[in-house]
Amino acid sequence: MTKSERMQEDERIRKDFPLLLEGEAYLDNAATTQKPQCVMDAMTDYYTNHNANPLRGLYRLSVEATDAYENAREAVRAFINAGSTEEIIFTRNASESLNLVGYSWTADNLKPGDEILITIMEHHSNMLPWQQAAKRTGAVLRYLEPEMDGTITEEMFRAALTPAVKLVCMTQVSNVLGCENDIKTFARIAHENGSVFVCDGAQSVPHMPVDVKDLDVDFLAFSGHKMLGPMGIGVLYGKREILDQMSPFLFGGEMIEYVTRDGATYAELPHKFEAGTVNAEGAVGLHAAIDYYNSIGFDRIMEREDHLTEYAMGRMKEIPYVHVLGSEDPKKHHGIITFLIDGVHPHDVAAILDSHKVDIRAGHHCAQPLLKYLGSMSTTRASFCFYNTEEEVDMLIDALKSIRKEMGYAE
């Protein structure tokens, strides 16, 4: 693609996003993405024309609200190629999805002496639920340590997978290193070992086609707000036969079949796991976000994000005091570039970049054990979405070039 074709595409895409402002580079997409107008319009339309409590009323508006909510579920199912909508549970976010498994599945399936295997690169949301599950059940939580660039080889995985491991939980893409784990291979090996496999897709589902049948994971968790959708809506995919066997996580309205003074029988999937009034407008917004993804297509999305990552890492090499964490190969970063600057604290880097109208994240990125393992308790991170442009990368690089001078270094 020529530079001018790319710029035309930039323009076409960016006009859909009201908060992508001229002269400001939003590069914190791993935290949350900006929203296209169609997502906001879909939610406004829902409240303007269809709102009622879904799944409860027999009157027109409630039926329309139910249809909107369930159509969103079908859109999610198709997006990740799940077998049926019963396998799609709406939650608040990836964290809640992981907590649901961390509570319900572990309660009935783990006992003292069993092992849970996770990696040190996990986000706290894919770590703390398993720490708690281990405490409750007496299971042992073990950490697989990757190479310093994030690589986990098949041999490393096999070596960590003892017969006692009943559960493996792993992110598909690290929110710090940007590296991708070979989930398909690891899930297959885990299954050969008799282990259940949970995949954290918070940083992968927004950036690459994720097919749960192909990966053959037992659970997949992700958040709507990291993929152009609204906050407050997340997804847990689970294999039907496993979800069927699990006890509910939250109890209340609409998750029951029948209630007596002494107890209750529970609704069928997926409603068994969706207690209380649901986030219908969130689901509607996520549906619109998925439609928008489909209209661009992952071929273009991945080409654009790979291009930006390669361009940014190439330009960062121009600056001797910038050090990128993880692999030197841009293809292994999936739009996430975490870096350190000699002599400047990451929070100062973020503050100075803000004064240059470049929005990035600084800190521990909710992955403190990983940062400790890598030897730096705080870092700075730029993360791309397909709507970012080379010009925004140039803004980042220009700002990075002046940072040490602004901090008073004589250069």
With binding defined as CB under 6 A, does residue 120 bind ligand C6P?
no
Query: 38 catalytic, yes or no?
Result: no
User: What's the chain's Rg over C-alpha atoms?
Assistant: 22
* Dist CA 288 CA 292 (whole Å): 6
The nearest distance, CB 7 to ligand C6P, in angstroms, is 29
Binding piece for ligand C6P, criterion CB under 6 A, among 19-27, 50-58, 119-127, 251-259 = 119-127
Residue 310: name the closest of 384, 210, 228 by CA: 384
Do residues 51 and 65 lie in contact, with contact meaning Cβ atoms separated by under 8 Å? yes
With binding defined as CB under 6 A, does residue 35 bind ligand C6P?
no
**Burial grade of 408 (CB within 10 A; 0-12, 13-18, 19 or more):** exposed
* Dist CA 288 CA 45 (whole Å): 11
Give 365's DSSP letter.
T
Q: How many residues sit close enough to ligand C6P to count as binding (CB under 6 A)?
A: 17
Element (H, E) at 337: strand 336-341
Do residues 143 and 118 lie in contact, with contact meaning Cβ atoms separated by under 8 Å? yes
Do residues 341 and 381 lie in contact, with contact meaning Cβ atoms separated by under 8 Å? no
Residue 94 or 312 having the CB closest to ligand C6P: 94
Residues 200-219 that bind ligand C6P (CB under 6 A): 200, 202-203
With binding defined as CB under 6 A, does residue 123 bind ligand C6P?
yes
Residue 203 or 379 having the CB closest to ligand C6P: 203
Candidates 34, 104, 137, 175: give the one binding ligand C6P (CB under 6 A): 175
Q: Which residues contact 36 (CB under 8 A, 6 or more apart)?
A: 16, 17, 228, 288, 289, 292
With binding defined as CB under 6 A, does residue 93 bind ligand C6P?
yes
The nearest distance, CB 61 to ligand C6P, in angstroms, is 30
Do residues 167 and 195 lie in contact, with contact meaning Cβ atoms separated by under 8 Å? yes
Residue 307 or 365 having the CB closest to ligand C6P: 365
Residue 137 or 203 having the CB closest to ligand C6P: 203
With binding defined as CB under 6 A, does residue 365 bind ligand C6P?
yes
Residue 204 or 327 having the CB closest to ligand C6P: 204
The nearest distance, CB 31 to ligand C6P, in angstroms, is 4
Catalytic residue among 169, 199, 366, 385: 366
With binding defined as CB under 6 A, does residue 327 bind ligand C6P?
no
Pairing type for strands 196-200 and 219-223 reads parallel
Catalytic residues: 366
Q: Which residues in this chain contact ligand C6P in the complex, by CB under 6 A?
A: 30-31, 93-95, 123, 125-126, 171, 175, 200, 202-203, 223, 361, 365-366
